[in-house]
Amino acid sequence: MPRTKVAVKQYGLDTRDILLAVKQYGLDTRDILLAVGQRGLVGGQEDLITDVALGLQAAANR
How do the domains of the chain map onto residue ranges?
15-60
Q: What is the pLDDT of residue 10?
A: 58
Question: Which of 5, 8, 60 has the alpha carbon at shortest distance from 37?
Answer: 8
* Rounded Cα gap, residues 19 and 39, in angstroms: 18
Alpha-carbon span 52 to 49, nearest angstrom: 5
pTM of the model: 0.75
> HSE on the CB side for 53, CA within 13 Å?
18
For 1-26, what is each residue's pLDDT tens digit? Answer: 455 555 455 566 777 888 899 999 99
